[in-house]
Structure 1
Amino acid sequence: MSGLLQATPIFMNIKLWERMAEVHIIGELVGANGFPSGSLSCKWGLTLGSAWKVLEGLQEGQTQVDHPQDGSFAKWSHPINIHLACKGLQGWPKLHFQVLHEDFFGRQELYGYGFCHVPTVPGIHNLECVTWKPIGTFKEQFIGFFLGGNPELKDETSIYTTQDRQNLRTEAMGNVSLRLGIILRNFDKFGVEVS
């Protein structure tokens, strides 16, 4: 009897979110190019507004390190499969990235930050997300040249928000390639046209 009572609130919660608009993101982090050297991996995450809820799937992850033979394109083919429900459009999902380089000794250093909005139109989308890294002061650059490492953000929300980003000195880096399939459901019930 107690098992039935525990299952009831979960069942009611699922039913509530079933009546909401839904977004299903199915795709992959294909890889990266345009970085100074190979041996790259990528940490990624999904940022949502307060009106959004993850129904299924992981909201963050990390790829393997790829050591491309020609050094030009790091291939990850890392899957992304996230099912979301929303009560409103504010806080539309964004994917954010940290591209890391692994050196000869296995140390990882930051090569770039980037983010992109999840497309609002259903279908298959090939995206190129540009990345950047903070360059720091002359002293930090000098130390980084001889000892390795790059300046990193204290607060990672600066990757995908404009708060405090205008004060950063940055350098353009390479691109992260994504292939995303977007499925939208029940948006028409709430008066939102998608095409």
Structure 2
Amino acid sequence: MTANPSVFLLMVNGQIEGANFPEYDDLYCKYCFVYGHDWAPTSGLEEGISQITSKSRDSQQHFVWNFPIEITFKSTNPFGWPQIVVSVYGPDAFGNDVVRGYGAAHIPLTPGHWLMGRRPEFTDPKVVAQGEGREVTRVRSQGFVTLSFNILTKDMKKLGYDTTSTDAQPSGFIVSGMGYTS
């Protein structure tokens, strides 16, 4: 006889595949996860920083990072479902690293796209995944980042949550520029 589970697991692996930022070159990205109080990482990395890459010299001018993401969470309920926040940086005219865009997306169980953005750099990039204070910002598209995820859950059905099966599919979101309104 097996005991009834009190938590479920969400396992995420994938990668930040690349980006298109037509106006820039020599970019890198940082990522971090934002999640609710009932969630706790059990393995993997909550944040990371990629290598710098130059855009391809063909007509697509695509950046390729293929930067791996792997993390497992446990939770007692889906409230506060994890989000990934991606910040893209590159050099300005003086060689200083400056933010080129921010984006956030909920970790998917189904494929999809999500749009969100900002522009002068935030002290804490996790603010991209939060609502408070965002009403005073305006966004301008700078480019987009493509992520792919493989998602596996364990014990959600045993806890009474609908676990309609979906195939693991690539998912992406747009990273936008931002500015403050006066």
The answer to whether the superposition gives a TM-score over 0.5 is yes
1:25 aligns with 2:12: yes
* Structure 2 CA distance for aligned equivalents of residues 76 and 128 of structure 1: 19
| 1:95 partner amino acid | I
CA displacement 1:86-141 (0-9 Å, x = unmatched): 111110000001110135764211100110010134xxx5x65546332xxxxxxx
**TM-score normalized by structure 1?**
0.74
The residue number in structure 2 matching 1:8 is none
Paired residue secondary structure (1:189): coil
Q: Which has the higher helix share?
A: 1
The residue number in structure 1 matching 2:69 is 80
* Contact persistence 2:6–2:76 (CA under 8 A): no
| 1:115 paired residue among 104, 108, 126 | 104
1:51 aligns with 2:31: no
* Structure 2 CA distance for aligned equivalents of residues 128 and 63 of structure 1: 22
The residue number in structure 1 matching 2:118 is 133
* Contact persistence 1:39–1:102 (CA under 8 A): yes
Gap runs ≥5 in structure 1: 1-17, 135-150
1:102 aligns with 2:91: yes
**TM-score normalized by structure 2?**
0.78
| 2:131 paired residue among 162, 170, 193 | 162
Report the alpha carbon displacement of residue 38 of structure 1 after superposing the two structures with TM. 1.9
Q: Which has the larger radius of gyration?
A: 1
Q: Which has the higher strand share?
A: 2
* Structure 2 CA distance for aligned equivalents of residues 33 and 189 of structure 1: 41
Structure 1 residues 63, 155: CA separation in 2 closer, same or farther (over 3 Å shift)? Answer: closer
Gap runs ≥5 in structure 2: 165-182
* Contact persistence 2:86–2:102 (CA under 8 A): yes
CA displacement 1:151-178 (0-9 Å, x = unmatched): 2224434311111111113222211100
Paired residue secondary structure (2:158): helix
* Structure 2 CA distance for aligned equivalents of residues 21 and 53 of structure 1: 11
| 2:159 partner amino acid | F
| 2:41 partner amino acid | V
| 1:43 partner amino acid | K
The residue number in structure 1 matching 2:152 is 183
Matched residue count = 158
* Structure 2 CA distance for aligned equivalents of residues 170 and 81 of structure 1: 30
* Structure 2 CA distance for aligned equivalents of residues 59 and 90 of structure 1: 19
1:93 aligns with 2:82: yes
